[in-house]
Structure 1
């Protein structure tokens, strides 16, 4: 009893000390001296963007430590709304979604945080971070004062900002500033009432002391529509921009206060079918040094991009699975020449932490495995089909990601090749067409809206529709998925559809698509089909890269985890990153492949490589961001 009383008295004595320590923490804008102030002293942040949603939880600490050892004193973090509220009203902050654990790791590492909670984030992320269930309201105006949007957005922010308030710097945490919306000036709505509402909401839940800011592109229109009185206006630009002209533009909206480049582009993203994007290291280093010499605070976008696992990539032109971004840390979190060059620049402006840079994560070449065909797709809709005279959208059926199978019958004999047409560009995004289980070809949004089919009246017509990721930027983020509008065969409108929402991910995660569960394996063929195999345990669970020689387009799962899309024939990405934590060192690893077009005509193999063959090394280095030794 006496010891308990002593403990209570000591605790009460310590409370004033803790209060004083927290109360002495401040982060503010010094308009007189055109800088930030941290605890009453001038402060310049040197930050890098990192997306916890694109990196396995097991690697968060490794990536943060590498950023700290480069000399960064802050990180910039997006919070994707749809990553945490996939189903309306159900919030998930567990496992790889544990934002507070991530913030705590950053705090322990010595990194301040610039938080970007949206509600819209862009980030080349699916629908710019907005949840697809918003599209159940067909006339909704996203990112506006439309109450159909504002009510769920406000509910989300009320929950998230309440959770974030204890992490503000002045409350003892490490969040020094919070962005309101994201590059709003690039959006057509230009709705100041919407921005005023967000401003009020952020102040209500975060208080009056935290710095709230906006970020917009380097044009007058974007700065005019994206900024609001009471929100500190910052700008973003890359190495192709005149620094002085860009900061003069910021000064027109913020005559006093710190110069801030909130997104200084160290690299760029890749789209399927484009050449791999890169930004010259010398240019990045030179401009970074110039901005820091001017006293500007800079955030480098990206410092590590990571991976668009599963279905999380955005689409304007569809973004590849890798979000390597030609960043200072590669997709696999490995230091590059660009990182070392940036560290050399930072040394001129602040003390670099003493000690070695953490090494690259270990890699291992596990060799090749053989796959067998194990399943047709129409068995993967356990709840059965939805019947409809005309096609329904993914959103109407509440199947927001992945694939749906649309099935009907041919209304008449079509002995000669007959056009199957999507007259209103209604293929969102790719449709794989079969008649009586025989693959006929594919249709694709914007590019292939007509194909020929043949068959007899009553033959089964299957259309497998793939969602390639919703538009994440611009005026068309209301991006519904499905057969939008009717399909026409010759002169006949196709009707009487059976629509199967395919739950492939659950089937894979539950081990239902392995060879042992499906009897004898079938021969490979064209068209959508699932294949599986096993990677034997080796006593190691190290990072690797999978290459699918001879395969065309599809998805890969390792032990139930969706690695994302492969599409080597379109490129530029040729490999899929497999983080070591996804593998088992002691148990066989289940590998599942959904091939959508054409499997290899000879051996059904895939290879797990530490590095690729000599003829692929240059392409691989371009993809991964590794320095050439």
Structure 2
């Protein structure tokens, strides 16, 4: 059988030196019917390897569940990469970061009181072993040693950047335990760690016997020298060469300087190092999968994960594609073929002529539960998405003060809007008119923190709650189940038709149908809309927000059929009209000059 080993100076495939020229392409951020196209485009750029994270919570959204089909069919993705002639590097965590919800760690696990986070705590390690024992055989059977294409597997992820005050012995114990679990699941290819090209992080995050790699996006020669101090022998590898960057709501759209990035890549390859370009194709945070950072201020990641990557969100070669292809060709063979140009798509206007208030959406609202205190979303066992809270208030209450809002809430009194609260602004007071009624707050989890010490924190409303007159302890909750919106769409469509040019008062669902050219990529324009979520034929395109920077949501062509496409919008705030427009090109927003 074939072999893949770490030699004194090189990676060795069947004893022959092999430089990995890899690119990150996340199957979970790409529609599965587009996997083959993206992999082919990556190969035409000159890559010989593809890398992907494997987010735990994507495959196990609930305790005891393991998804390995459809968008979660990791085996099919690796097989398509092999069919394209690409090796594969797999990074299963258990923590992945990746600007993904919770860094990939399942909220249902971290909600358990006292469970460890990224450490050798028995319940955490037991859950990791259970998960890896079920997941990793998919990878094991596709290792190069068994005739497949997987050549490297990563243990943990940038562990040296986490909890820098932890005891070194405890760190080593944790990593050793992960190695045992990974090897026990049948992984026999070389294992690697990766950390930022920083002496302290490389020291903290590594383990004797595992090959250290580094992450960086500039000053390649200098960063490789840092890595060499900690990995004295064997091939040098940048496991994340940051070619671009991600966007956060309310910020700028990041566009990397092609010339600078290409020069740094050239320096890296000229030094003989292997590379994994992060990202080769960024893709999309479909649904409610985007994560968040919190470095003093909560900063959730946008739906578009275009990342300024060489292969754009819709698969089109971007400005970096030709620049990187030219650089790679100086060092490694590059195919003569180039990607075909993208076919233009027509603009489509969709009348969303049916509406339904969220509070009436019984097809999506779970059963109402009563509480003697203000529960978090985690207590409600709503691990992502939205929770509807309700409490009775009196004329004397005048305001409700909350401990914290995580992360965005729309407050109404008897369905009259009274406030919008946002975590990044520090909002936590709901002013009330002097009348009794039912206060409802629709609370959106904008993404669990994916980096740093706040990993694992609860979502929803954080108590206690008080009014001007008393403590407010009697609450009711209903979780929104938006995973399958078939019944919800039917309920919205069953409402009496409303003129689509009438303003939308949120939070409300709006629905309509349209015809399209099957297979043609489009972009949903959010102009005129406030904040919410969009579905096309049951597939959630993700969040939109007038805060920007993105002004469009990607609509993958495989979602569209010739007739009777269903468009569903959840508008939280309000919109000028219930008119949806699908356009030909993305608008990812303003850039910083």
TM range (shorter): over 0.9
Corresponding position of 1:87? 62
> In structure 2, what is the equivalent of residue 367 of structure 1?
348
- Quick one: structure 1 residues 411 and 588, their matched pair in 2 at CA, closer, same or farther if it must change by over 3 Å? same
Is 1:222 aligned with 2:214? Answer: no
Partner of 1:160: 135
2:229 is the counterpart of 1:252: yes
What residue number does 1:597 align with?
573
Distance of 2:432 and 2:378 partners within structure 1: 31
C-alpha distance in 2 between matches for 1:556 and 1:326 = 23
State the shift of 1:510 in Å: 5.4
8 Å Cα contact 1:545-1:609 kept in structure 2: yes
Task: Give the match for residue 321 of structure 2.
Answer: 339
Of the structure 1 ranges 182-191 and 302-311, higher mean CA displacement relative to structure 2 is found in 182-191
In structure 2, the partner of 1:353 is 335
1:305 corresponds to: 282
**What 5-or-longer segments of structure 1 have no aligned partner?**
1-22, 624-629
Residues in 1 aligned to 2:147 and 2:570: alpha-carbon distance in whole angstroms: 48
Please say if residues 534 and 568 of structure 2, whose CA atoms lie closer than 8 Å, have aligned partners that are also in contact: yes
**Which residue is 2:216 aligned to?**
237
CA contact (8 A) 1:404 1:500 kept: yes
Highest CA radius of gyration, 1 or 2? 1
CA contact (8 A) 1:71 1:352 kept: yes
Q: Give the corresponding residue for 1:606.
A: 580
- Among 267, 280, 292, which residue is 2:244 paired with? 267
- d(CA) in 1 for partners of 2:175 and 2:471? 45
Q: Tell whether 2:436 aligns with 1:454.
A: no
1:488–1:163 Cα change, 3 Å: same
- Report the Cα distance in structure 2 between the residues aligned to 1:459 and 1:134, rounded to whole angstroms: 37
Residues 364-443 of structure 1 mapped to structure 2, 5 A cutoff: 364-372=345-353, 374-379=355-360, 380=362, 383-414=366-397, 418-422=398-402, 424=403, 426-443=404-421
Range with greater deviation from structure 2 (131-140 or 587-596)? 131-140
Asked whether the equivalents of residues 95 and 118 of structure 2 are also in contact (C-alpha less than 8 Å), the reply is: yes
3-state DSSP of counterpart to 2:379: helix
The answer on whether the counterparts of 1:121 and 1:129 sit within 8 Å (CA) in structure 2 is yes
Distance (whole Å) between structure 1 residues aligned to residue 504 and residue 71 of structure 2? 37
Match status 1:76 vs 2:51: yes
Q: Which has the higher helix share?
A: 1
Say if 2:189 is the partner of 1:210: yes
Mapped partners of 2:545, 2:430: distance in 1: 24
CA contact (8 A) 1:313 1:320 kept: yes
- The RMSD of aligned alpha carbons is 2.0
Q: TM-score, normalised by structure 1?
A: 0.88
Residue 28 of structure 2: aligned partner: 53
Q: TM-score by structure 2 length?
A: 0.93
Equivalent position SS for 1:244 = helix
Indicate the residue corresponding to 1:287 in structure 2: 264
Larger mean CA deviation between 464-473 and 477-486 belongs to: 477-486
CA gap of 1:539–1:73, structure 2 versus 1, over 3 A, is closer
Q: Secondary structure at the match of 1:564?
A: strand
Number of aligned residue pairs: give it: 578
Contact 1:64 1:109 in 2 (8 A): yes
> Which stretch shows the higher mean deviation, 401-410 or 368-377?
368-377
When structure 1 is superposed on structure 2, of 524-533 and 130-139 the one drifting more is 524-533
Structure 1 residue 518: deviation in Å?
A: 1.7
Q: Distance in 2 between matches of 1:604 and 1:412?
A: 35
Please name the residue that 2:441 is paired with: 463
- The answer to whether the Cα contact below 8 Å between 1:533 and 1:591 also exists between their aligned partners in 2 is yes
For 1:83 and 1:249, locate their aligned partners in 2 and report how far apart those are by CA, in whole Å: 34
SS at 2:575 equivalent:
coil
Measured after TM superposition, the shift of residue 221 of structure 1 is 2.3
Name the CA shift for 1:397/1:451 in 2 (closer, same or farther; >3 Å).
closer
